[in-house]
């Protein structure tokens, strides 16, 4: 397992979903003893959908939460899934989402359904006044995602999503340095998020364990995307977090093994940001390693994360000569779901992902797939 987000190493997605105790450890990461001591308001949540591969980790996280949290109800359209997760959490099985929407004791929901169910569930949750943690991507299309964003904003409920790469210390440090001008004029940014999920059969059907059957995630008709969108959205979020909006995209995706039919297993995109930065984004389920995850190039500096270590060159940062890994890093915040729990409990300083940003990542990824299918550069609508 890779180290957790309070370490100088980078936490990759494979470690996040494969480590047995990782989610529980993430939940325990401190934001400061005094701040944690102020959190006393208990939180009552419900799971609405349990289909996502992160669900087991989320169960462990909530069980280990430093903030008192109770999962009262669990619903999934698959009875085996809802029964299994409800038993783990000591929760009741809801016969329908309506039971959760009408339950005034439940203040927030964790939506881990298949992506093609997000629109219906997010709109209903917002209408019911429930705070929302929705797994990424927010939706299948830009239009649906923006509709959800408008509904969440109108309802004035809390929202966040699973962009856990915002908790990595190197990313937090680099974002601050980009904003401070340490790289001069940023010209290029390159991001890569890859693992061997397709090679390792992570998404193979599991008829004997339907509560851990992730096959739908390799079916674009349900997930909306394949490997490029599934993994790429995490690094796309980091790149847009640092460099702003994307105007247009040219992309290529590929089926490599054919293990999951016509589902793409690898892809790369060239992004044109509104501020003139050129970006390159790679994502794959067929890589045996992912050594260089992020690089930022500017007229006065350069940074690269290589095998989890940050190498930094900038005349604006004392000692940043690029020769040795940079160790002066901030402590990352707790995992996104734990941030959500603490925000619902009353903590106001949690760095939640704005729903509008979650929607815009979908818009860029939709344009990338349109480009891959047409062979043309596509403007982000």
pLDDT digits over 61-115, tens only? 999 999 999 999 999 999 999 999 999 999 999 999 999 999 999 999 999 999 9
Nearest CA-CA partner of 303 in 289, 318, 319, 320: 320
Whether 285 and 374 share a structural domain: yes
User: What does pTM read for this prediction?
Assistant: 0.90
| Residue finishing a domain among 164, 192, 212 | 164
Does residue 280 carry a pLDDT above 50?
A: yes
More confident residue, 267 or 6: 267
When mean pLDDT is compared across 40-49, 95-104, 212-221, 356-365, the lowest value belongs to 40-49
Residue 238 lies in a domain: yes
Nearest CA-CA partner of 131 in 93, 160, 105, 103: 160
pLDDT score recorded for residue 38: 53
Whether 292 and 216 share a structural domain: yes
Whether 78 and 155 share a structural domain: yes
Whether 73 and 214 share a structural domain: no
Whether 314 and 176 share a structural domain: yes
- Express as a percent the part of the chain with pLDDT over 70: 90
Residue 4 lies in a domain: no
Task: Give the DSSP letter of residue 1.
Answer: -
Q: Do 187 and 303 form a contact (C-beta atoms < 8 A)?
A: no
Does residue 31 carry a pLDDT above 70?
A: no
**CA dist 52 to 49, 89, 120, 151, 361, Å?**
8, 16, 17, 23, 19
Q: How confident is the model at residue 318 (pLDDT cuts 50, 70, 90)?
A: very high
Q: Do 322 and 232 form a contact (C-beta atoms < 8 A)?
A: no
Could you count the other beta carbons within 10 Å of the beta carbon of residue 90? 10
pLDDT score recorded for residue 3: 31
pLDDT score recorded for residue 159: 98
Whether 190 and 323 share a structural domain: yes
Does residue 285 carry a pLDDT above 90?
A: yes
Label residue 344 left, alpha or beta by phi (over 0 means left) and psi (-120 to 50 means alpha): alpha
Q: How confident is the model at residue 40 (pLDDT cuts 50, 70, 90)?
A: low
| Residue finishing a domain among 115, 149, 164 | 164
Residues 145-195 have pLDDT tens digits of 999 999 999 999 999 999 999 999 999 999 999 999 999 999 999 999 999
Owning domain of residue 264: 166-331+355-379
Phi, psi of 314 (to 5 degrees): -165, 130
Say which CATH number the domain at 19 has.
Answer: 3.40.50.720
Whether 108 and 230 share a structural domain: no
Whether 157 and 295 share a structural domain: no
Whether 145 and 174 share a structural domain: no
| Residue finishing a domain among 164, 190, 224 | 164
pLDDT score recorded for residue 41: 81
Does residue 374 carry a pLDDT above 80?
A: yes
Whether 157 and 171 share a structural domain: no
Residue 154 CB contacts under 8 Å (≥ 6 apart), including other chains: 126
Nearest CA-CA partner of 293 in 12, 18, 14, 19: 12
Instruction: Dump strand ranges (E) for the chain.
Output: 43-50, 69-75, 92-93, 108-112, 131-134, 159-161, 186-194, 246-254, 266-273, 278-284, 292-298, 301-306, 309-314, 378-379
């Amino acid at each position: 397992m890779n180290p957790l987000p309070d370490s100088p190493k980078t936490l990759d997605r494979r470690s996040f979903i494969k480590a047995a105790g990782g989610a529980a450890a993430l939940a325990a990461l401190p934001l400061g003893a005094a701040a944690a001591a102020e959190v006393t308001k208990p939180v009552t949540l419900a799971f609405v959908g349990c289909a996502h591969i992160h669900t087991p980790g989320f169960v462990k996280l909530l069980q280990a939460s430093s903030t008192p949290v109770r999962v009262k109800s669990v619903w999934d359209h698959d009875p085996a899934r809802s029964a299994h997760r409800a038993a783990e959490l000591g929760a009741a099985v809801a016969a329908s989402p309506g039971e959760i929407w009408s339950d005034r004791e439940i203040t927030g929901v964790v939506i881990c359904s298949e992506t093609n169910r997000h629109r219906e569930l997010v709109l209903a949750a917002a209408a019911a006044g429930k705070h929302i943690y929705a797994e990424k991507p927010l939706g299948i299309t830009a239009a649906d995602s923006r509709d959800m964003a408008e509904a969440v904003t109108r309802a004035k409920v809390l929202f966040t999503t699973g962009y856990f790469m915002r908790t990595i210390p190197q990313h937090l440090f680099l974002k601050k340095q980009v904003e401070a001008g340490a790289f001069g004029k940023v010209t290029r940014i390159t991001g890569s998020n890859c693992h061997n999920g397709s090679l390792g059969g992570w998404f193979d059907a599991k008829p004997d364990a339907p509560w851990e059957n992730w096959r739908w995630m390799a079916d674009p008709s349900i997930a909306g995307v394949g490997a490029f969108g599934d993994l790429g959205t995490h690094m796309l979020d980091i790149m847009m977090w640092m460099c702003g909006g994307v105007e247009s995209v040219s992309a290529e995706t590929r089926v490599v093994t054919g293990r999951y039919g016509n589902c793409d297993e690898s892809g790369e995109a060239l992004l044109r940001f509104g501020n003139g930065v050129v970006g390159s984004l790679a994502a794959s389920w067929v890589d045996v390693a992912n050594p260089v995850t992020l690089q930022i190039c500017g007229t006065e500096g350069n940074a690269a994360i290589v095998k989890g270590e940050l190498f930094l060159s900038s005349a604006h940062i004392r000692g940043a000569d690029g020769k040795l890994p940079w160790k002066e890093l901030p402590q990352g915040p707790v995992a996104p779901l734990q941030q959500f729990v603490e925000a619902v409990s009353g903590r106001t300083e949690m760095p939640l992902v704005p729903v509008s940003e979650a929607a815009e990542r979908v818009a860029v990824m939709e344009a990338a797939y349109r480009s891959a299918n047409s062979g043309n550069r596509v403007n982000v609508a």
